[in-house]
Amino acid sequence: MRISELFARGEFVLTAEVGPPKGFHLDHLLHEAEEFLQDVHAINVTDCQSSVMRLSSLATCKALKDKGLNSIFQLTCRDRNRIALQSDLLSAAFFGIDNMLALTGDHTVMGDTKQAKPVFDLDSVSLLHCVKTLESGVDLAGNELDGEPPKFAKGAVVSPCSDSVDVQLAKMERKVEAGAEYFQTQAVYDSEKFIRFMEKAKQFKVPVQLGVIIPKNAGMANFMNNNIAGVSIPPEIIEELKADKEKTKAGVTGVEITARIIKECKDHCQGVHIMALGWESKVPALLEQAGLKGS
């Protein structure tokens, strides 16, 4: 079901993210999704995340749907021109997948196949415009679609803790105008920064889900600080991860930190998006501690 309908009903929308494998065996991913992600409203499936070649988002969304799980088709502009993007959107509609998330995508040199041609025929804004165009019954060339047009809940992303947050807000506005109906954010570790961002973002009148990544250890936190755009982890959190190595290794500290951030931010947003990065098994405990179970 389209998560835009949940936002419209005023629900606090929970989503989690899974990354398809490098290979075509989905047993593990599907098992984890069924076991640990039953309490979220929809499951995002990444599209060759970090420019690493993997099984497609679309096939994985279909497999989740076959298990009765609601999915969000993430679509980047890195690997496909506008013909292929439109074709994949129609394919998603054919499979009954009706949530999508538009991203520009990381550059190809960020991943494991640096020789590949970076496409970027469209970008996140023009991709949203493209979805809206298809929904109106014509394609980007202006040619009519056969039969009833597709309909998606159209999502987009924004980085509230970016060091160039005003530039991000300007882009967010363009995405809203192009048709974005909901936003998921880059991982937030600084609640005050997020709340300040939401003060400015609320003028756009679209629901925003707080993005969180459960930190696994201090090394991961330092890595993200140095390498991941839009992510900034305060030193206190890194100290907290260093304090009790066993507790951190077991995921207890990461879940505590993330639950605390969710509690601090949840009155300022319309949902939470959890990027577990392999720690899907911690999601139930996180929802419990954040007071979101059964919401």
Using the minimum distance from each CB to other proteins, give the nearer residue, 64 or 100.
100
Q: Least separation, in Å, of the C-beta of 39 and other proteins?
A: 28
Q: Does 184 bind other proteins (CB under 8 A)?
A: no
Q: Does 144 bind other proteins (CB under 8 A)?
A: no
Kindly state the helix (H) or strand (E) to which residue 210 belongs, with its residue range: strand 208-213
User: Which residue stretch of 15-23, 38-46, 125-133, 276-284 sits at the interface with other proteins (rule: CB under 8 A)?
Assistant: 125-133
Q: Does 46 bind other proteins (CB under 8 A)?
A: no
Using the minimum distance from each CB to other proteins, give the nearer residue, 15 or 124.
124
* DSSP secondary structure, 85-107, as one string: HHHHHHHHHHTT--EEEEE----
Q: Does 112 bind other proteins (CB under 8 A)?
A: no
Q: Which of residues 78-97 bind other proteins (CB under 8 A)?
A: 82
Using the minimum distance from each CB to other proteins, give the nearer residue, 178 or 292.
178
Alpha-helix runs per DSSP H in 202-290: 218-227, 235-243, 245-249, 252-265, 283-289
Q: Least separation, in Å, of the C-beta of 210 and other proteins?
A: 16
Q: Does 49 bind other proteins (CB under 8 A)?
A: no
Q: Does 159 bind other proteins (CB under 8 A)?
A: yes
What is the spatial distance between Cα 144 and Cα 139, in angstroms, rounded to a whole number? 6
Q: Least separation, in Å, of the C-beta of 163 and other proteins?
A: 6
Q: Least separation, in Å, of the C-beta of 224 and other proteins?
A: 11
What is the spatial distance between Cα 34 and Cα 68, in angstroms, rounded to a whole number? 9
Task: Tell me the two tokens of residue 257.
Answer: 């930190």
Q: Least separation, in Å, of the C-beta of 107 and other proteins?
A: 5
Q: At what angle do helices 218-227 and 235-243 cross, to 10 degrees?
A: 160
Its sign, for the CA torsion 211, 216, 218, 224, is: negative
List, in sequence order, every beta strand (DSSP E) within 19-118.
42-45, 71-76, 99-103
What is the spatial distance between Cα 14 and Cα 11, in angstroms, rounded to a whole number? 9
User: Which residue stretch of 5-13, 57-65, 126-134, 284-292 sits at the interface with other proteins (rule: CB under 8 A)?
Assistant: 126-134
Cα dihedral 214, 196, 9, 100, rounded to 10, equals: -60
Q: Which of 31, 107, 151, 249 binds other proteins (CB under 8 A)?
A: 107
* Residues 206/200, Cβ–Cβ less than 8 Å: no
Cα Rg of the chain (Å, integer): 18
Q: Which of 54, 80, 154, 171 binds other proteins (CB under 8 A)?
A: 171
Q: Does 209 bind other proteins (CB under 8 A)?
A: no
Q: Which residues of this protein are in contact with other proteins, per CB under 8 A?
A: 82, 103-104, 106-107, 109-110, 118, 120-126, 128-129, 140, 157, 159, 162-164, 166-168, 170-171, 173-174, 177-178, 186, 228-230
